[in-house]
Chain A
Amino acid sequence: MSAVMVDVHGVHKSFGPLEVLRGVDLQVRAGEVTVVLGPSGAGKSTLLRTINHLEKVSRGWVSIDGELIGYRRSGNKLHELREREILKQRTNIGFVFQNFNLFPHLTVLHNLVEAPVSARRRPRKEAEETARRLLDRVGLADKADAYPRQLSGGQQQRVAIARALALEPKVLLFDEPTSALDPELVGEVLDVIKDLARTGTTMIVVTHEIGFAREVADTVVFMDAGVVVEQGPPSAVLDAPRHERTRAFLSKVL
Chain B
Amino acid sequence: MSSDTITEPATRTAGHAEELKVVPTRHYARWAAGAAVVVLVAQFAHGLVTNPVWEWGVFSDYVLSETIVQAVWVTLQLTAYATVLGFLLGTVLAFMRLSRSPVLSTVAWTYIWVFRSIPMIVQLVFWFNLSALYKELGVGIPFGPVFWSVDSNTLIGTIGAAVIGLTLHQAAYAAEIVRGGVIAVDQGQLEAAAALGIPRLRQIRRIVLPQAMRAILPTAGNEIIGLLKGTSVVYVMSIGELFYQAQVIYGRNGRVIPLLLVATAWYVVLTSLLSVAQYYVERRYARGADRTPPPTPLQRARRFVTSLTKESA
Contact = CB atoms under 8 A, between A and B. Distances in A.
A79 B64 CA distance: 69
B196 interface: yes
A52 interface: yes
Interface residues of A, number: 32
Interface in A61-95: 83-84, 87-91, 93, 95
A103 B192 contact: yes
B191 A91 contact: no
A83 B202 CA distance: 13
B252 interface: no
A90 B191 contact: no
Contact of A87 (B189, B200, B285): B200
Interface string A161-177: 00110010000000000
A115 B197 contact: yes
> Interface size bucket, B side?
20 to 34
B210 A167 contact: no
B191 A87 contact: no
Interface in B12-69: none
Interface stretch (A144-152, A185-193, A224-232, A246-254): A144-152
Contact of A149 (B195, B206, B289): B289
B196 A167 contact: yes
Interface in A35-59: 52, 54
Nearest to B288: A147
B263 to A, nearest CB: 40
A104 interface: yes
B155 interface: no
A97 interface: yes
A104 B197 contact: no
A164 B211 CA distance: 21
B208 to A, nearest CB: 10
Contacts of B196: 90-91, 95, 114-115, 119, 163-164, 167
Given A103-B207, A118-B206, A97 B188 contact: yes
B197 A87 contact: yes
Given A91-B196, A114-B198, A148-B288, A101 B188 contact: yes
Nearest to A88: B197
B287 A105 contact: yes
Given A87-B198, A91-B196, A147-B288, A101 B191 contact: yes
B190 to A, nearest CB: 9
Most buried by B among A97, A101, A114, A120: A101
Nearest to A87: B197
Interface in B143-188: 186, 188
Given A105-B211, A118-B199, A119-B196, A149 B288 contact: yes
A99 interface: yes
Contacts of A164: 196
A87 B193 CA distance: 9
A236 interface: no
A106 interface: yes
B192 A104 contact: no
A105 B197 contact: no
A104 B196 CA distance: 16
A118 B194 CA distance: 12
B285 A105 contact: yes
A90 B202 CA distance: 15
Contacts of B193: 103
Nearest to B285: A105
A118 B198 contact: yes
Interface string B287-305: 1111100000000000000
Interface of A: 52, 54, 83-84, 87-91, 93, 95, 97, 99, 101-107, 114-115, 118-120, 147-150, 163-164, 167
Interface of B: 186, 188-189, 191-200, 202, 206-207, 210-211, 285, 287-291
